[in-house]
Structure 1
């Protein structure tokens, strides 16, 4: 796959030109973006792959849900439905996608969860329902420029920052690096917890933010227990188990479990893997399965796995939560 990417390098300038031109047309308002009176906060990235959008959306939900009626709006990647869908008690990972289903399972009594590939239509539909939201969080919509979000949060990982990457197909960027200028906030995610001030300053210099942009650093925190559909277990008490992951980068999770000196085998699938009947038959043979929360949303439907399937929750820690929270709430005051 890596070799193929290098072979396709001659295509890179064409991809760059097409995406640059598309953005330029929006910047010049030749192509139209729609703004809304309702506050719209977008969380996204420049690159393909996992940058930590789901934990960031959950962070925002936790910050806002006590004071506002919040809705999340996602594409619903790999769902089996089409058009606008508002999550309800019949929702599954297949009907709305695994990440939106995760939001719904965790916060269903406190927020609205919707999916629509057409974000403008999704916003319009949300505003038509009874009990319409006061704030909409757009999940993975940084390149969806038909919507002009009021506040853009751009994520980039510590290990693979956008400023050291190039566009597809050889690199991982969906658009040129200068797309980062649209962000109000840039968060460098999945940082080591002991990242030094010198390293932060070095990254800041490479990002070279605009005067109106703010840069933050976040790290992942794993909880000290795993959760099933009906019980919790301490990580320290886990013995020989199977780790099942279908995410973009499982390395941080594997590193955490290795640091705990736990004994496990790792079944590593591609991101958003659709578990087949054969996969489930193989998993049925395992005595204890630990997975990510996102994968748990797809696997928990199988009754045969219910008593052996657990997920390890995560949260994020941001280096200056007071400042980022103040920026977000200041934006809301201008819209509400």
Structure 2
């Protein structure tokens, strides 16, 4: 009996030890390209860290709501999200500042990605440009203002105000009108005036690609991450380089406050930001690199937002500018555009 008790105690101790050594990192991310991410990022990291990655996907609203609902006892350790959504979570005191001492690859990032929302509450891992995709055989695009020109009436699509591309398009139309800042009142009114000339206000790039391949739309603003949908089309699409330049955005990594898994979260972030991984992700055409040391071929670069010259030239709308004005933009949009 005594030996039986000792054996039982030993088994319990071993089980407890094994449980303590089991490391799991829960990551909230976009549903985009998850099979490709698994091969380029998740599987290699698991082999290095001897840990398990739990990947949860969903749209931004769902994922932000889950972080907020579980603030007292986080079920998400880290997340990748837009810079403006990261700032919204930070303002609710739901994020933990990053320890840069644990991010040896931080200094390799383009300056705009190093502290995009302030307080080291986030770090950028990818950029994306936004411009106008158009049919070269049917129209010429030289300015963002061309989107509301009579030559495109009945053949143009614009992004919905609530989507990622919406505020960026407003910013560039505002710039084309000779204005700066985040007062988009006159631009939204102008879009409202031309609302009957807009085929649709799209919500997803896949929806836009279908309309353009069906030749219902010949020009529309779109993010560079969706360019492959158009580049591979048999129709003659081109990526515009308007005189006002291109808009830009950034996705960032964040860490939830009090998750208890900070060391592993930092390890994974640092791995993702490394030159090796950012190069691998770029060459797989998954994401554009935020690491300035990444070098890819011209063929690969043509599908990405790549290189210091382009990244430094992007017009990036500040996360605070979006959050502080979004409600007013949407209210006016619903009144004057969606009638």
TM-score, normalised via structure 1 length = 0.34
TM-score, normalised via structure 2 length = 0.33
Which one scores higher on RCO, CA 8 angstroms, separation ≥ 6? 2
Bigger proportion of residues as helix: 2
Q: Which has the greater radius of gyration?
A: 2
